Structure 1
Amino acid sequence: MDSESRNNHQHQQQQIEIIDSSFSDSLKVIDWEDFQQELARFSSLSSTLSKAKTNKLALQQNLQSFIHLSSDTLNRSNQLQQFTHKLDHKRLLIGNLSLRAKTQREDARLRNHRLNLQIKSLLLAGNALSTANDQLQEANRLLAGERGHVRLQTLQKMLRVRLQYMVSQISTLYPVKASLGSRHEEKSDLSAIVNRSGNSMGPKPLSPGSLTISGLQLTTHPLKKMSFFSDKKDIQRSATALGYIAHVVLLIGSYLDVPLRYPLRMGGSHSYINDYASSVECASSDTYSNPILVPNLKTTEFPLFLEGQDTTRAAYAIFLLNK
């Protein structure tokens, strides 16, 4: 046994030497006596190396897991930052929406307040309208009654009929007819004044010589020849006709309730017509058109007859009467 072991040992030593010869000079030559110890140490080193490799693999696996976990953590951190950024943006939007909602709530409150005021105003207006409607119905009821609008219309109709009748009675009292006498073609200076004044106020009137009132012809003699009259009957007839005309104008104005622009003072064939404008030279046009509004103004009377009067004043009186 010892020989075999020795042979084996020699053989192994030879192999080791061969191996040592094949490698570099850095290989260590181990004696047989130290072989067991070196073998044990080598086995221990192999075991340690195996454990180290195992630990290395485990450590690599752990390191890969850690790297993966770190990468996952980094991705999650990036996602978290993105989520944080989005959250900040959404918070800003929520803040803006909250401010806008607050503004809209305040605006809605103001609108609600105004709407309440308008509703109150509408209620008040509705109450006023209801009251006015009741008053209107009451007024309509009164108008529809015996003393209402129908009666008023009836009275107005009766009044118009009465006025027409009274005016027609004037034409009965003082009938005016057209005359075809031989003297209607001759126009005196005074009748020309009457015609000119009539033309200035409206359409051309009939010649005074072509009309008669109560059988008296509306004519005047030439003013220049008046001092040579031997017969005063024509002058008296002319004054009487002018008195009739003045009375007709006065009655019609009274019946129709129309104030005369130039008031009359009746005296039959010796009547007068008043003029406010001739007494005040600086009076305004309003004073001329409505002398009743200024009763303090003095009036000037002009005779509507020729007997014993200035022909110019008489002509102006006829001029005013014609207006």
Structure 2
Amino acid sequence: MVKTESLNQLNELEEMRERLEARKLVIGNMSMRCKLATEDAKKQEEMLSTEVRSLLVAGTSLSVARKRLQESNRLLTEERGYIKLKNVQRKLRARQQYMISQVSLLYPVKILVGPAQEQELESYPSSSRLGNYSVSKPINQGSLTILGLHLTMLPFTKMSFFTDKREVQRSATALGYVAHGVSLIASYLQVPLRYPVHLGGSRSYINDYAPSVEPTSSDLLWDTALSVNVKPVEFPLFLEGQDTTRAAYAVFLLNKDIEQLLNFISVKSLGPRHVLANLKELLRTVQSSEFIDT
């Protein structure tokens, strides 16, 4: 009887010891979690303090910028403020005009008037500003050259085995000149091109960010930030080893970029089939006195 009670007490004592060990283990785990939570809280507190300091610095900068803006508005509302603004704009236009004139020297667009004669583009008056529809007859694309090269569009529509390869190469080189010139002019005018150009000389490409499918009503509910992730489609500005349709579309997009720059300076385009003529008109207008006065 005594042995039985003693065994029962030993068993109960062993069970109590096991429960105690289990509780110690639980308490140890809780202590570890508490320690990790404390460390995470300290890290978050440090990050929060850093963000608060950054916010304070940004607030100070914003306050300074607001004061400068108020001062600028005050100066602008004065009688001389508007005159100063116009003078600054004229200086900016003059600087842009000078830089773009260097582009016209780098890639001169000339009109072929004889077998061995070329006339500078400045000697030819051309179309007028937007709103005036009395536009002169566009110059034949074949009579224009850029750096002495013709831009022949015939291979882009009738490419065959008998097409002159040298003519194809000259057209690709001319398109490379146009693409580089348009990129420079856009950067000087601070106009982001709707169809960016990937420059590569006679192997240049132009990008189209337009989606290949029409958006549905549900797609319109997405955040506009998603449009940044749209991958552009590249189209070649040359024919060798390329599909003629894609190459012709690339020339069309390049002309659209030139039209965008023409619209920026309020000049009407000569049409979608006049790449060099539109570039000539762009250079002529920017180098005129009207560009600075507007």
TM-score, normalization by structure 2: 0.47
Higher Rg: 1
TM-score, normalization by structure 1: 0.43
- Report which structure shows greater RCO (CA 8 Å, sep ≥6): 2
Q: Which has the higher helix share?
A: 1
